[in-house]
């Protein structure tokens, strides 16, 4: 059986594997099997995060580990803290998912996501070990925020980003998530006016019609983070979405980088841009962990996903919405550009992701007529287009990406796909 997805473990809070018993066991095995003695645990603003933290911390401590409770903190800040001070750590979050979900992201001593091999080691032991969960009655406050853990992170950013040159900033949508308290504190410590909004978490409003996970709700002329702060998206003044692909092109261009890593979902315009600029471009499987692994192998400083996970290794070793936001506005100020220039100068090919809800993730070659549908779409989209299906690693969805230089071709392919699933009543 499998419990790890694209980015850690995720599911409905209160249902397997996001139960007190399971999270106790996972905390125990993480500390025991990987021999981690000093661990940091942080969480986002979901109402279920407190209970999960209590069981997780109990498991770690029963395995002989010592836990530092980082509190309600963005995932990238926790990652940075781990790299500087701890053997490893766990972030309690379901990232961009609704409040009813929750999950765990596991980090090694470098502040990076643990490997497939380590995930498999934990999975094997999880299903092969019996443990009696001893859950602590001490339930942490989900809105506990430890200001002092941010000081080293802020000092690091100030050494790499010329904040004094920043005259123009753009408001930030904090998604009522883990950045809500953090960004308000950052304004004071960095002496910047950041105008954050959606900063009143109530345990249920994380990612609710707000944040990078719901880009249609981002206000014009603003940037946005997702629930745990490792993604960044935006909108220009005309309402055009600024996604991870646009941000990657802008940063690679202005930072004069030689290599760039995207994923199989990255817009073909990024590849065309890299060819034009003489930048090496590489694709990986979906997941910022795979992007980072590829970056390590080829010594690339920048990589990311369309969804807004952007990794720039000079700033952090995981997707970091806040650090990338500061770098973006530093460069926009430096080159005398506005937020509108991002969409004007770095144009994407027309692209659409069609999401189909599935009960079971059946292999594509076993879905009747699916292969013929893909071939038909390939012909419609032409040489400068593509169709790419994949199952989500975090949700029960089939995602079908279609892309073409011509909008008309895209619309025809979308019609074919919708007609196929309407006719067949979903996947059979």
| 201 dihedral zone (left: phi>0; alpha: psi -120 to 50; beta) | beta
In sequence order, the β-bridge partners of residue 197 are 173
Quickly tell me which residue has 């981690």 as its tokens: 36
Q: How far is the C-alpha of 37 from the C-alpha of 86, rounded, in Å?
A: 8
Residue 126, judged by CB atoms within 10 A of its CB (0-12, 13-18, 19+), counts as buried
**What dotted CATH number matches 351-424?**
3.30.310.50
CA 39 distance to own-chain centroid = 22
| 394 dihedral zone (left: phi>0; alpha: psi -120 to 50; beta) | alpha
Dihedral Cα 43, 46, 51, 56, nearest 10 deg? -30
Q: How far is the C-alpha of 413 from the C-alpha of 98, rounded, in Å?
A: 30
**What dotted CATH number matches 9-144?**
3.40.120.10
Q: Respond yes or no on whether the N-terminal peptide bond of residue 353 is cis (omega within 30° of 0).
A: no
- Catalytic residue positions? 95
The CATH homologous superfamily to which domain 148-345 belongs is: Alpha-D-Glucose-1,6-Bisphosphate, subunit A, domain 3 (3.40.120.10)
> Going by DSSP bridges, is the β-strand pair 232-235/241-242 parallel, antiparallel, or unpaired?
antiparallel
3-state secondary structure 64-86: CCEEEEEEECCHHHHHHHHHHHC
Sign of torsion, CA 173 177 181 186? negative
The length of the chain, given as a count of residues: 428
∠ CA(74), CA(49), CA(1), 5° rounding? 100
Inter-residue contact 391 to 397 (CB < 8 Å): yes
Q: Tell me the backbone φ, ψ of residue 374, rounded to 5 degrees.
A: -65, -40
Q: How far is the C-alpha of 295 from the C-alpha of 378, rounded, in Å?
A: 30
| DSSP helix/strand/coil, 309 | strand
pLDDT at 306: 95
> Going by DSSP bridges, is the β-strand pair 101-107/9-12 parallel, antiparallel, or unpaired?
antiparallel
Residue 89 in tokens? 């750590």
CA distances from 144 to 202, 266, 343, 387, 413 (A): 13, 37, 38, 45, 49
Residue 200, judged by CB atoms within 10 A of its CB (0-12, 13-18, 19+), counts as exposed
| DSSP helix/strand/coil, 5 | strand
Quickly tell me which residue has 């949508």 as its tokens: 173
Residue 347 in tokens? 């144009």
Q: How far is the C-alpha of 427 from the C-alpha of 413, rounded, in Å?
A: 18
Residue 38 in tokens? 């000093």
pLDDT at 428: 55
* pLDDT averaged per 10 residues in sequence order, the chain, 428 residues: 88 96 96 96 97 96 96 97 96 96 97 94 94 83 91 96 95 98 96 97 97 96 98 98 98 98 95 96 93 96 97 95 98 97 96 90 91 94 90 86 91 93 74
Neighbours of 415 (CB within 10 A): 11
Residue 380 in tokens? 């419609």
CA 132 distance to own-chain centroid = 33
Inter-residue contact 322 to 183 (CB < 8 Å): yes
pLDDT at 426: 65
* DSSP designation for 250: H
Q: How far is the C-alpha of 163 from the C-alpha of 186, rounded, in Å?
A: 12
Q: Where are the domains of the chain?
A: 9-144, 148-345, 351-424
pLDDT at 101: 97
- Do domains 9-144 and 351-424 share one topology? The answer is no
∠ CA(98), CA(402), CA(226), 5° rounding? 25
Instruction: Please state whether the predicted TM-score (pTM) of the whole model is above 0.75.
Output: yes
């Amino acid at each position: 059986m499998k419990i790890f997805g694209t980015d850690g473990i995720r599911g409905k809070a209160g249902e397997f594997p996001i139960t007190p018993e399971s999270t106790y066991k996972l905390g125990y095995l993480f500390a025991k099997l990987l021999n981690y003695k000093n661990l940091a645990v942080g969480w986002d603003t979901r109402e279920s995060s407190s209970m999960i933290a209590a069981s997780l911390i109990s498991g770690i401590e029963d395995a002989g580990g010592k836990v530092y409770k980082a509190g309600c903190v963005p995932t990238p800040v926790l990652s940075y803290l781990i790299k500087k001070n701890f053997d490893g750590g766990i972030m309690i979050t379901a990232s961009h998912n609704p409040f009813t979900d929750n999950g765990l992201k596991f980090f090694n001593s470098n502040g990076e996501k643990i490997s497939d091999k380590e995930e498999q080691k934990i999975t094997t032991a999880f299903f092969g070990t019996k443990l009696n969960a001893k859950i602590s009655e001490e339930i942490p406050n989900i809105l506990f925020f430890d200001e002092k853990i941010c000081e080293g992170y802020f000092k690091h950013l100030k050494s790499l980003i010329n904040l004094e040159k920043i005259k123009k900033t753009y408001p930030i949508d904090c998604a009522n998530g883990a950045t809500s308290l953090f960004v308000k504190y950052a304004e004071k410590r960095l002496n910047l006016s950041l105008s954050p909004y959606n900063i009143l978490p109530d345990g249920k409003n994380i990612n609710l019609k707000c944040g990078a996970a719901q880009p249609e709700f981002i206000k014009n002329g603003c940037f946005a983070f997702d629930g745990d702060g490792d993604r960044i998206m935006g909108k220009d003044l005309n309402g055009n979405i600024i996604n991870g692909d646009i941000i990657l092109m802008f940063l690679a261009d202005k930072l004069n980088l030689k290599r760039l890593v995207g994923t199989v979902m990255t817009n073909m315009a990024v590849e065309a841009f890299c060819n034009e600029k003489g930048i090496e471009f590489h694709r990986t499987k979906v997941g910022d962990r795979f992007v980072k692994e590829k970056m390590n192998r080829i010594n690339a400083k920048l990589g990311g996903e369309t969804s807004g996970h952007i990794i720039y290794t000079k700033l952090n070793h995981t997707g970091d919405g806040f650090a990338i936001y500061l770098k973006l506005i530093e460069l926009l100020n430096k080159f005398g550009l506005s937020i509108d220039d991002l969409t004007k100068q770095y144009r994407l090919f027309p692209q659409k992701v069609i999401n189909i809800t599935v009960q079971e993730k059946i292999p594509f070659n076993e879905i009747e007529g699916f292969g013929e549908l893909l071939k038909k779409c390939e012909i419609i989209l032409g040489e400068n287009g593509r169709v790419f299906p994949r199952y989500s690693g975090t949700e029960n969805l089939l995602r079908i990406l279609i892309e073409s230089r011509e909008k008309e071709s895209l619309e025809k392919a979308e019609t074919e796909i919708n007609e196929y699933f309407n006719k067949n009543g979903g996947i059979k």
